């Protein structure tokens, strides 16, 4: 029987590194896109210097993976139609909607399926550390990642909700077209439900013909149970 080295075995797997406001997580995925393991490190990277950020992440990524994805949860973002987007004006597009300080750097992801560009900001320290560790890897804003991996364009009328600690990202499709993409803060399951129902009311969505799907809510069953009193919710 052929013996495989650790490097050969690890090359079968992909690693996703996700950085949020409450720490960072690492998820290992096999070739069939099945989640094999996940680990969360509750360290707020944005408060650390570049060297310490790089050391913390490097310590957790010693194995040689087939592919690595870098995902940053940023609430500073703006979606710009691709036909009018100019890379040298990326900061202008974002500053028009958000307040960007000198400690941030502006990046962008092109999403060809929707012919749009997601312009976003992350701390310079984190961007520098990630670029040093993974110089050939694109940093994706979390909604870019969500749209490219979880949302299918064939959904004619659907509401996709990605849950985060105290934040919810809502994507609405009506008649197969992206109708809304926004983030809302919440404290309780009742807040979460209010925002969802208010969106449905404001956009005049027929709930009998629209699917509501929650993502990343496994550890917060109260969100689905409360929202489920008013809507049919799918995972």
* Domain boundaries, given as residue ranges, for the chain: 1-149, 153-234
User: Which pTM does this prediction carry?
Assistant: 0.86
Q: Angle, to 10 degrees, between the axis of helix 50-60 and the axis of helix 124-133?
A: 40
The 10s digit of each residue's pLDDT in 179-220 is: 899 999 999 999 999 999 999 999 999 888 888 999 988 888
CATH class name, domain 153-234? alpha beta
What architecture is the 1-149 domain classified under in CATH? 2-Layer Sandwich (3.30)
pLDDT attached to residue 1: 29
In a 10 Å sphere around its CB, with 0-12 CB exposed, 13-18 middle and 19+ buried, how is residue 145 labelled?
Answer: buried
Query: How many angstroms separate the Cα of 207 from the Cα of each of 159, 168, 223, 228?
Result: 10, 19, 18, 12
pLDDT attached to residue 184: 95
- What is the rounded CA–CA span in Å between residue 122 and residue 73? 9
pLDDT attached to residue 2: 32
- 11 CB neighbour count, 10 Å cutoff: 15
Tokens of 67: 């592919």
Return the SS3 of 111.
strand
pLDDT attached to residue 31: 83
pLDDT under 70: residue ranges of the chain: 1-10, 153-155
């Amino acid at each position: 029987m052929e013996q495989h080295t650790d490097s050969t075995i690890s090359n079968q797997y992909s690693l996703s590194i996700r950085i949020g406001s409450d720490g960072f997580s690492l998820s290992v995925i096999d070739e069939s896109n099945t989640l094999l393991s996940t680990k969360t490190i509750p360290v707020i990277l944005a408060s650390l210097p570049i060297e310490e950020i790089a050391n913390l992440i490097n310590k957790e990524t010693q194995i040689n993976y087939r592919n690595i994805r870098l995902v940053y949860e940023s609430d500073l973002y703006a979606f710009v139609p691709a036909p009018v987007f100019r890379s040298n004006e990326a900061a202008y597009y974002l500053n028009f909607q958000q307040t960007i300080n000198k400690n941030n750097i502006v990046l962008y992801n092109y999403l060809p399926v929707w012919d749009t560009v997601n312009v976003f900001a992350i701390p310079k320290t984190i961007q520098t550390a990630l670029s040093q560790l993974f110089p050939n890897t694109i940093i994706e804003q979390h909604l870019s990642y969500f749209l490219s991996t979880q949302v299918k364009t064939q959904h004619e009328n659907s509401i996709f909700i990605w849950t985060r600690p105290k934040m919810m990202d809502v994507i609405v499709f009506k008649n197969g077209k992206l109708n809304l993409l926004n983030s809302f803060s919440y404290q309780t399951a009742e807040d979460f439900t209010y925002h969802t129902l208010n969106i449905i009311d404001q956009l005049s969505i027929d709930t009998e013909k629209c699917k509501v799907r929650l993502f990343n809510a496994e550890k917060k069953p109260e969100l689905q149970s409360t929202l489920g009193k008013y809507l049919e919710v799918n995972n």
